A = this chain, B = another copy of it.
Amino acid sequence: MSRRSRVDQVERLVGQLFGAVDVLQTHFEQCATELDLTPQQARLLSSSGSPCSQRDLAQQFCCDASNIVGIVDRLEQRGLVVRQPSVHDRRVKQVVLTPDGEALRERFRVALTANMPGLSSLAGAQLDQLEMLLAHFTNTPVST
């Protein structure tokens, strides 16, 4: 393959990748909205190992720590999470899912997996291929 055609292919793939991102993002938002969650609330509910400091959440979200306050506030008002002061460091508050929070997290996970765009039309061997190819993305550190 010539150098030029690879460049062309990468160009095409960039467009295709962000097209797929758009589809997946929309799917995520729809699943969240159906459970009366904003995307970020659904993300927080889904993401963490349940006991997780707000600082760690900010790092996971690549955002300022102050933003986590509001998201946790609204989840806490709905009784989906609680703030537990850490016994080792009293500055730290662990965000822990309540039973209601765990239940909603599970409902969200099921909704997200069902009707997942793209995957249903893929055969087993293609799922294997996709799994290997995606590893190149999730293991690639974001260039600084």
Contacts and interface: CB of A to CB of B under 8 A. Distances in A.
Size class of the contact patch on chain A: 35 or more
Contact of A130 (B13, B19, B23): B13
A25 interface: yes
Q: Is the interface of A mostly helix, strand, loop or mixed?
A: helix
A129 B113 CA distance: 23
A116 to B, nearest CB: 6
A118 B118 CA distance: 19
A138 B18 CA distance: 9
29 contacts: A6-B127, A10-B127, A11-B113, A13-B127, A13-B131, A13-B134, A14-B113, A14-B119, A16-B131, A16-B134, A17-B134, A18-B24, A18-B28, A19-B137, A21-B24, A21-B25, A21-B28, A23-B138, A24-B137, A26-B142, A115-B143, A117-B142, A118-B137, A119-B136, A122-B133, A122-B136, A129-B129, A129-B133, A133-B133
